Structure 1
Amino acid sequence: MNIFHRTVVAAAAILASLSIPDLSAAASSPPVKALNVVLVHGAYADGSSWSKVIPLLQKAGLHVTSVQNPLTSFSDDVAATKRALDLQDGPTVLVGHSYAGMVISETGIDPKVTALVYVAARAPDAGEDYPALTGRFAAPPASKGLVHSGGFAQLSEEAFVHDFAGDLSHKDAMALYAVQGRISDKLFATKTTQAAWKTKPSWYAVSKNDRTTNPDLERFLAKRMDATTVELNSSHVSLISHPREIANLILAAAGYPVKH
């Protein structure tokens, strides 16, 4: 046996001793057929932001629940989502838009949750300093439009219409602005304690024209979690401007035929 052969054999023995799991079977496994979908809205929004996606999912036969986050604290939003999950009977797909990616990363460890869907969403690792992570990417324009008052913040009308909901008609953007959820000043500073995307199959929708979250940050997060990823020519609110594409992503995660 020459030295090259001995080196290869030794390397193979070391790799075998590491007990690295075979992920090929898991990667090719079809999604678990879900019965339910729980939708979690992000900051500067409320549960009505899913109003165009919900009928598409219901038409496919899924039971749909849209959480109303108080946005008063991360723990309050986690509690609201947990209450919604407690009401589900059977396999459930958990979906988060924007900031709600933190919420579904924290709550997605629930055994009912079979898949996670992130829509232009945050996806921190457990204990990660997410603001520090975002600092590695160029700040999006919407961040300059935050207005703070009384311990809460919201987007100015200009930032909301042009940077948050830039591909909606002015009429639709203003209607969404009217129900904007004001967020606690401390909401984004909280660290998650769980990263459900490490143990649950995940899907991600990147908004290519996003001016609220840097699209390159979204791509980084999607790649890090090894998510099934689509890219949409959308603003931050693809769930409103591209509801069919978002519904299709959720249907795929739920193990349902994709609608066209």
Structure 2
Amino acid sequence: MKKQIILAAGMLCALAGTAAQAEAVKNIVLVHGAFVGGSGWRPVYDRLTHDGYHVTLVQEPLTGFTDDVAATRRVLDQQEGPAILVGHSYGGAIITEAGNDNHVAGLVYIAAHALDNGETEASNGKKFPNSAHPFMKTPDGFLMIAPQHFHSDFAADLTAKQADFEAHAQMPTSAAVFTANIPDPAWKTKPSWYMVAKADKIINPDLERMYAKRAHSHTVEVAGASHSVYESHPDAVASLIEQAAQHAKS
């Protein structure tokens, strides 16, 4: 009788394990950061879709934090079932707000801001200064990276040709987004994963480590990675996202 109970328990555990695998999240939503568009996610998109994930990219207008969060929620509303929400750079602030959506099972921060209530990107940047050149500002209050500094500051581990193209394909970003406050950060209630870019000049890697530690994120660090780590190390980025998809519901 005792042996039968043990066997039955073992079968239940196996069935539970199978169910957990069946519930792995298959929807991935990718959110870009300031100055760039969603096309930079293409290498990660290709790897995730190859592995069977349903991947959607958000194209934020970068005209204001509320607008960018709304654009992300619009995409989340289209998802059938739970999703992993991924943000790069300023996209981290967006997913920290939009991540409270019921569709979101987990958060992945790729060299991104994971703000707490009362913090802004600007204020945290003063506490953990970066090593990039100051941004350019347009007369109507938008920021850009000076093209001559884009390669060294934003994309040092991309080719000069690719960085030059991105420098001249920039999306001007409203300066106001960098002072947005987030009352209820989603990382306080949702599991999170974090990738630190160890050679990042736009966000101080120590600030990235602080974000990850505070959120109790599953954390990886990529040596030699610039702020463009999502483009220069797509295999590592896709692997971290897949880890989140496999474990967010367990």
Which band: TM-score by shorter chain? 0.7 to 0.9
2:86 to 77, 90, 95: 95
Equivalent residue runs for 1:117-196 within 5 Å: 117-137=108-128, 139-196=129-186
2:106 to 115, 120, 123: 115
In the other structure, the counterpart of 1:48 is 39
**1:106-146 deviation per Cα after TM superposition (whole angstroms, max 9, x unaligned):** 01111111110000000111333443233222x22324243
In the other structure, the counterpart of 1:105 is 96
Give 5+ residue unaligned stretches, structure 1: 1-28
Give 5+ residue unaligned stretches, structure 2: 1-19
Q: Within 1, Cα distance between the matches of 2:44 and 2:60? A: 18
Letter in 2 for 1:194: D
**Residue 115 and residue 62 in structure 1: after superposition, are their counterparts in 2 closer, same or farther (change >3 A)?**
same
In the other structure, the counterpart of 1:218 is 208
Q: Within 2, Cα distance between the matches of 1:96 and 1:136? A: 22
**Residue 31 and residue 164 in structure 1: after superposition, are their counterparts in 2 closer, same or farther (change >3 A)?**
farther
Q: Within 2, Cα distance between the matches of 1:211 and 1:62? A: 31
In the other structure, the counterpart of 1:60 is 51
CA RMSD, Structure 1 to Structure 2 (Å): 1.8
**1:28-70 deviation per Cα after TM superposition (whole angstroms, max 9, x unaligned):** x999611200000000100111011001000111110010010
**Residue 129 and residue 243 in structure 1: after superposition, are their counterparts in 2 closer, same or farther (change >3 A)?**
closer
Q: Within 2, Cα distance between the matches of 1:96 and 1:31? A: 25
Q: Within 2, Cα distance between the matches of 1:31 and 1:157? A: 47
Contact 2:117 2:183 in 1 (8 A): yes
Letter in 2 for 1:193: P
Q: Within 1, Cα distance between the matches of 2:213 and 2:228? A: 21
For normalisation by structure 2, the TM-score amounts to 0.86
Contact 2:143 2:173 in 1 (8 A): yes
Alpha-carbon deviation of 1:194?
2.2
Runs of 4+ in 1 over 2 A off after TM superposition: 29-32, 126-134, 145-150
What SS does the corresponding residue of 2:211 show, helix, strand or coil? helix
**Residue 209 and residue 32 in structure 1: after superposition, are their counterparts in 2 closer, same or farther (change >3 A)?**
farther
Letter in 2 for 1:99: Y
Letter in 2 for 1:131: A
For normalisation by structure 1, the TM-score amounts to 0.83
